[in-house]
């Protein structure tokens, strides 16, 4: 059984695109919903491998089963019929391929035009007298965000779910049950990423997602990390975009800000260039298991000038929790500028 078989069992049906590495398939990503950026190579390694060019999720069939079906390593291995001697997916040379920062892909002009219209609409909603919008403003204020940074970041609120024609957004048509699939835009806090005149991404924080993901990435968005500004001597790397906005508000005169979107996210070419030129990188991903592992296993090894600088445990796991708990974020960053670089991967 290969990764392709598992995807088809779960309702995904990637389409054959090329003969690369024995056969390359593409389809919608089961993790982020990205359009045609999820690549599958069913003949690579023992069980095939996958990689999403949008959210950058990647792995083999075991990884897929553990993340998508919540199976244990042993259970996934048993389902796939893999012997205990097999140690996992390796490259053709028997070692992991070197990391290469991805090239960014700007959304289409049609998508950006529709995105700008939605941003304008939802910004107006957020500052209206609607009860849901007042509650959203109060929630943002409790997180420490000022009205100035909220407006500067073009944050908005979508009052009700929307379903629109995919073609109007410049997206390919999809047929389900003999009908054209609509583009779903859920209600909630709209978090755009706008650089100059370019709309790069729309992410929506849903107020009541039940068992679904809290954050929804609108199909057609690019997932590059947020970067402010494009050149700086010092950068602080955080996980969530809202944490990034908070630090942008509080410490932008001390350090540039990079908000990844998730602990597993890696820099694109532009962000990698900015980081490589910086003299110091304070890596402050969430102080939870995922964030710590990402920091220790990758960031400190990739960038010699990187320093592991988490929020002190007594204040929570991220900058927003820390501010709510009374931590002076400026003092925290200033302290990070004076301490020697520590290499403490073995402690994590």
137 or 181, higher pLDDT: 137
CATH of domain 3-80: 3.90.580.10
Q: What is the pLDDT of residue 240?
A: 94
Share of residues in the chain with pLDDT > 70 (%): 89
pLDDT surpasses 80 at 13: no
Mean pLDDT of all residues in the chain? 87
CATH of domain 109-217: 3.90.980.10
Q: What is the mean pLDDT of residues 155-171?
A: 96
Taking the CB of residue 75, how many other CB atoms lie within 10 A of it? 14
Binned at pLDDT 50, 70 and 90, residue 296 comes out as low
Residue 33 CA neighbour count, 13 Å, CB half:
15
Q: What is the mean pLDDT of residues 77-102?
A: 61
CATH of domain 226-347: 3.40.1360.10
Q: What is the mean pLDDT of residues 124-130?
A: 97
Every domain of the chain and the residues it spans: 3-80, 109-217, 226-347
């Amino acid at each position: 059984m290969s990764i392709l078989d598992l995807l088809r069992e779960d309702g995904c049906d990637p389409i054959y695109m090329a003969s690369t590495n024995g056969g390359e398939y593409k389809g919608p990503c089961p993790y982020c919903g990205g359009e045609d950026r999820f690549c599958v190579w069913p003949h690579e390694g023992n069980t095939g491998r996958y990689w999403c060019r949008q959210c950058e999720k990647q792995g083999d069939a075991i990884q897929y089963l553990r993340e998508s079906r919540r199976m244990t390593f042993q259970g996934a291995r048993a389902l796939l019929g893999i012997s205990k001697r097999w140690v996992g997916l390796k490259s053709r040379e028997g070692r992991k391929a070197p990391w290469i920062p991805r090239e960014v892909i700007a959304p289409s002009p049609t998508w950006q035009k529709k995105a700008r219209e939605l941003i304008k609409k939802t910004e107006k909603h957020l500052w209206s007298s609607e009860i849901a919008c007042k509650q959203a403003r109060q929630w943002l204020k409790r997180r420490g965000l000022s009205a100035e940074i909220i407006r500067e970041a073009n944050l908005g609120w979508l009052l009700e779910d929307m379903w629109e024609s995919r073609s109007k957004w410049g997206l390919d048509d999809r047929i389900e049950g003999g009908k054209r699939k609509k583009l779903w835009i859920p209600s909630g806090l709209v978090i755009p990423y706008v650089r100059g005149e370019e709309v790069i991404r729309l992410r929506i924080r849903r107020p009541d997602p039940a068992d679904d993901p809290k954050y929804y990435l609108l199909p057609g968005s690019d997932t590059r990390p947020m970067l402010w500004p494009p050149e700086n001597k010092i950068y602080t790397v955080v996980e969530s975009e809202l944490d990034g906005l908070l630090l942008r508000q509080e410490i932008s005169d001390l350090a540039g800000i990079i908000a990844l979107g998730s602990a597993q996210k890696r820099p694109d070419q532009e962000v990698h260039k900015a980081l490589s030129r910086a003299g110091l990188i304070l890596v402050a991903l969430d102080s939870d298991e995922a964030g710590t592992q990402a920091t220790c296993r990758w960031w400190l090894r990739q960038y010699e000038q990187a320093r592991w600088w988490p929020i002190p445990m007594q204040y929570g796991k991220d900058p927003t929790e820390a501010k709510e708990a009374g931590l002076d974020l400026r003092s925290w960053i200033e302290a990070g500028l004076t301490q020697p670089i520590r290499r403490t991967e073995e402690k994590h």
